[in-house]
Amino acid sequence: MSLPIQFPVAGESIHMAEGELWYLNADQEHAVYHRGKTDRIHVVVDCIANDWLRNQLEIPEHQFLVDI
């Protein structure tokens, strides 16, 4: 079964479930395909991932930030 929302990031398909918080490196090639019948709303914050933010999200400095 194919999901109605497809979100490929750097060649990997990411599933973002309702109520989850995600951080990704938008410098990576990415796209969103919405083939469902239900409207979806996403809040997007464009920011620089400084040490404070990385610590808040528990993201290692060396991680590419695509696979969390």
Q: Where are the domains of the chain?
A: 1-68
For residue 57, the one-letter residue type is: L
On whether the pTM is more than 0.75, the answer is: no
Q: Is the pLDDT of residue 67 over 60?
A: no
Residue 52, classed as helix, strand or coil, is helix
- Which tokens sit at 59? 């993201």
- Which tokens sit at 9? 């990031």
Q: How many CB atoms neighbour CB 66 within 10 A?
A: 15
pLDDT digits (tens, 9 = 90+) for 5-18: 888 988 888 888 88
Separation of alpha carbons 28 and 39, rounded Å:
26
